[in-house]
Chain A
């Protein structure tokens, strides 16, 4: 045998061992997340909605939930650990929630009204032994009106709000129920409540469809199907979550068979992924990517004609092409067909002639070009691809004589500035800010931007918008408790916002993810979340 043949034989002998291959137990789905760490597993995840998606909903349940079983409609709110609820007719700040009987936590303890009260106190009652300041920031912000909980009987609980607020059942999708019994057991061996919560994060107990079986911080989390789950059980036996923050590394991991599913593949890798037989999933997200105008000082965006002109000038189809199809043109905070759409008279479209006319009417033209400064970030969660997208807009608006200058700051800084408002020094004279926005909840989609009480630094009314008509519409929506009538009130508010062009609406994300053809049964709903009970792997 020649030396060359010997080497070839040796190489061939070693090759099978080199190949990573599937090599996983049947029914194990391995998911490459965009997060750099496993989101917190103590019941109130960090890492934004990716945390809720992967360590919130699968391990824990909330009183209410989103129906994530279909992709052809906006996700409706459904009963979950609560089977029904209503506001007290005599006192609109008191809600009664009836709880699902027979539900048990992963540790075998019962889910009941005491558990609900305990979980509310963990974030709202500073005197409670289980109070955890870390979870306050992650939870209380998403339930701004909730104040306390009272047990009525074992399966009934009263939730008290600071003011009448019809949004409460929606807010409650963010309050996950952790097991008091498991926490108490861990607390007995821990020196402090904080240490007990850290121990709980390592051995969490919720009522979710999956149980955590292994956690290696920053590297992996492994789930097993909860065979005692109260609802429809998961099809997959195991889920493995891997944080892979770099988009190319995620793509390579999928293509090399190390994972079965990746979140947010690199857009330019999509043709290669498709060529290798991978399935690309996408759907309209409750998210929009806008320029939020400043209504204070000398901002030219105080003029509704200018705001309307900008909304009409943008070539959203061109932008979609730039993103390889991974966006939907935005014509409002929510789109036609959504219960909050409201059919506004002002139709957002591309009409550059009308945009020029409106600008001329507002006093801008070749002799006096409109100069805008926009604060943007080079990256960030939910920000899509802010640099190429903003550069596209800059070129596009130049065609109608608008000069756009960018103030680029990093994502953390943009967050901070967003809270401080456009009149603060941190805005550095910007006329608009580019922060993407979640629209699952009416408070976060509409109220915090249109309510004068939410003006920065109280909340995210960065532009300091103040119009009593909008304040009145918000009061009406919050005080309308019948769901269809509440949606109608929100639709009126949304339509008024579009007519006043309170944002420059640009794009909705479609949350692309890529997966192996071996993954079956996956449904991509119109949501930030997915139902991990549905997919399985062949």
Chain B
């Protein structure tokens, strides 16, 4: 970002005036901004870490206790999008970014494309890649030789349901999407206040997971070009299926994560939830009184002979391109995401489902407290996690996501299957147009 000299001079002048007035003292409190002054090898290094994972500071404390020379300071951020926006603004401005950044997998191409994260391939141990599943590792390398982040947690999807209500109405747990539709219909007929789930126009990541399970991949890299496949037959199939359920009124059409949805979890009008492995944390926070009433099962399937699932959520830890201490930062994130003690702490303190395979086997033995009635919780989880389908995110997934919000808001409000399919087509159009406008090469 280049500023005109006049503005620059004015700003510099103002800064000088401020500093002269003794103002610099106030910023001492502000924590490093990535441009810390401790680059001389002797002094301890302070690294700032933007993250929104709950209680992650307790994991960081373990590191800080053992590493007096590399101190990590946690700066809590609003989840997901706002943190990325802030990071990109800081990158644009040339200063103000943290050293270390939590980044959801879908944001990594966007961050790489904006030159916001550093390639740390040369700074990690050689066996780091071996800690993670191929699909997950691919998400942080984008299929190249570079490594842009170290995976932290993943979010394989499962089906969560109220076992007590299923029993009350004599419903069977659906194993296919046809059965899911049947159960949804039957439940809603028996009690019109109850729904087996809701189609949320607010959660693009959730819809991505559903289409991922069906075999879709929204983007692809085709030599030197991107391809966009949001309107692929797989996505259309999923959209049409859900549009049909919403049109028939057997599935709710209100967004998730609203107070009303919370209420539904509490009073049992939301009987099921297609969610991911972190669901117990959300359920116990939103509806603590329903403990012991929920159960988890694998996702309903399109093809029972080829079980599959998608992923919703999950994130990696990256070193930003503004960090002056990438080496130390890389060492920290490698420790946090692969060291057995750290991975155990990620499970215990932050309730994450670690991406690290060796560590998670030990860390995940007992079911989460909220699901203490389901002894095989993590066995099912591990089994389903292995069936996570490959998926490629693109550099303007942010545009695709906001198009999802707008287009599916209209479609769910219209309650028509045709509108759902139209929404998918509109998303494809908006996403491709944006890529082309920005100058990306896009394969037809």
Answer yes or no: do A and B interact. no
